[in-house]
Amino acid sequence: MGRNEKDISKGCMLGVVILIFVILGTQDKTFPRLLEAIDKQIENGNIKDKVIAQVGSTKYESNNMKIVDFMPVEEFNKYIDDADFIITHAGVGTILTALNKNKKIIAAPRLKKYGEHVNDHQIQIVEKFSEEGYVIPLEDFDKFDEALEKVKKFVPNKFVSNKDNFLKNIKKEIEEE
């Protein structure tokens, strides 16, 4: 179970519980800045929904959302399935997992200047997935409320993997050496 076991009031919209699943990945990189921004949106009334966060190595306490360090794969996948949308770091694995389940995603890059990652490659990840119509980017946390409004109407493009073409090109490169 998670660190925060307090009951959380469920957000309702027309009697339907809305679930937001926050995913920070499982690497040793922390991202409390995103959780602080989510807490602020809850406190400001912009998020009235049930929020569950799988935070990995990030140490964070909240009275507004359920915090879980790590969860079994089955439970993780169930939360993705049940979520109305995902808020996540810009980890490719996390984004692809959610896209393959046709989920709406708000993706926020970890930034080097805050010690959240060793470089700023997640900015490019968010930009590329956003350009393709797969995610709503969240680079400026002062505009989080705008991303929350966009996600309500957002219909992500259906994800099409380029894996076969990628593997073909790698094989071609190897054979030419």
Look-up of token digits 């030419």:
176
Average pLDDT over residues 37-56: 96
pLDDT digits (tens, 9 = 90+) for 160-177: 777 776 677 677 777 776
pLDDT digits (tens, 9 = 90+) for 84-123: 999 999 999 999 999 999 999 999 999 999 888 988 889 9
DSSP category for residue 69: S
Characterize 130-148 residue by residue with b for buried, 16 or more Cβ atoms within 10 angstroms of its Cβ, and e for exposed: beeebbbbbbeeeebeebb
pLDDT above 90: percentage of residues in the chain: 71
> What are the boundaries of each domain within the chain?
12-176
Tell which phi-psi region holds residue 45, choosing left (phi > 0), alpha (psi between -120 and 50) or beta: left
Give pLDDT, residue 2: 44
Helix (H, G, I), strand (E, B) or coil at 125: helix
CATH of domain 12-176: 3.40.50.2000
